Structure 1
Amino acid sequence: MGMQFSVLASGSTGNATFIETEEHSFLVDAGFSGKKMESLFSQIDRKISDLSGIFVTHEHSDHIKGVGVLARKYKLPIYANEKTWRAMDRLIGDVPTEQKFIFNMESVKSFGDCDIESFGVSHDAAEPMFYVFRQGGKKLVLITDTGYVSDRMKGTIRDADIYIFESNHDVQMLRMCRYPWNIKRRILSDIGHVSNEDAAIAMSEVIGDNTKQIYLAHLSLDNNMKDLARMSVSQTLEHKGIIVGEQVELCDTDPKNPTALTAV
């Protein structure tokens, strides 16, 4: 079977991604209610009770809303770095100590047939980090919630088979929207979110011979659209000499519904 995944839902209202190998299955973030998470799992015909653990990227509510509920109900281990644990502990409610695990930034944990590497991003959270999943020579990268993509990040995520990559906003839509200026400034900053164009520039520098698909993730409900994100990213990639549809495929994610369970 190898490694399979589904972006269960992704957007400014909530985020969750499912990854499985022959031996283990994992959830990265649970930014929805327990009931919604159960519905998302049922749509891909998988069980939350079978998870090997929940991996938390950072403490913002659109990533941890259901973490405590799922951990308590299904007795699941939770993995996060120390600063994230301190920031989210009171937000997720009581979780038994034996279900709390530290996963330090810039480290690797092995789970049977799968290695998971954590790496830091630039976001206004305690110590935000995302993950690279490796299994059987395949590589899946999950990177959202970052104001920019540094050379260090690019080195870690280069030449993945699959990217789940933030394409948060269209800059002009954001500038023209009704958000207060302090919110716009935060999103546009180095600790906010990457735009369609900036995401595509970063993609162009990490796409390799193994790269098959890029899933455009964490789209703003107010300041982006699927068609616009796809068009903007395509144009920028093609300007950089990468032909979408031939060298790499762009795929949508949805704020409410899962992508099909797909092999890496």
Structure 2
Amino acid sequence: MKIGFIGTGNMGCAIIKGYLTANPKKADFIYVYNHHVEKAQTLQEELGIHNTKSIKELVDNSDIVVLAVKPNTFEQVMPQVAAAITTQKTLVSIAAGVSISYLEGFMLRGVGVIRVMPNTPSLVGEGMASVSRNKAVCEEAFTKVLELFSSIGMVQEISESLIDAVVGVSGSSPAYAYMFIEALADGAVAEGMQRKQAYQFAAQAVLGAAKMVLETGLHPGELKDQVCSPAGTTIEAVRSLEKSRFRSSVMEAVHICAEKSKNMSK
């Protein structure tokens, strides 16, 4: 199936490059459009994909059309997409706050629509994406979209009703993780470690802890208990975090983020 990308910003490029890294012989099946012509031209020269001159040309040549543009451009982009798309094609959106029903409102009845919520670690092949679909999406197209986003990390299908929770727990949470890594490094610097070294120690510790959760299948609380020796250093640090309402603060951040996402969708 041929895949077209409207928009070649950071996320669009990450998806394309990740997919082609996993499928190096599929460049001929990728089409792109960007109103900044030079950006799309550069990608064509770098990756061997097809650069199109208009949204209509891209839609005409694609089985799956990926909207990789900012939500504030949808009012301009979607009428052009709707004028060309047919029920034999599938539309994919990666924009936050843009519902499936909103997209359906632009188009003929029966067009398959998939809503994806990726996150920025997709840029290094460690993304987490949710996918939600309407009833018109065929299995072949859905399987292809899962393959596409699996090439840049992990992907799971969810009900669209849970997408605001996804925004809070994975879409926006890299920012919380960066703050945590920065704070860990600040603490190490305060204890005498060089800044660059402190970032490496902190980031690798967080990466390793995340892999332990994913690869062992153990509950995070059980893994935490394994590090906490009786009367040891770690349990003292955990006690300090609990005094500062660490877990409650993180839960509140996810809630606030999800609420903001709900309001954006309205």
TM-score in terms of structure 1 length: 0.32
- Higher gyration radius (CA): 2
More strand by share: 1
More helix by share: 2
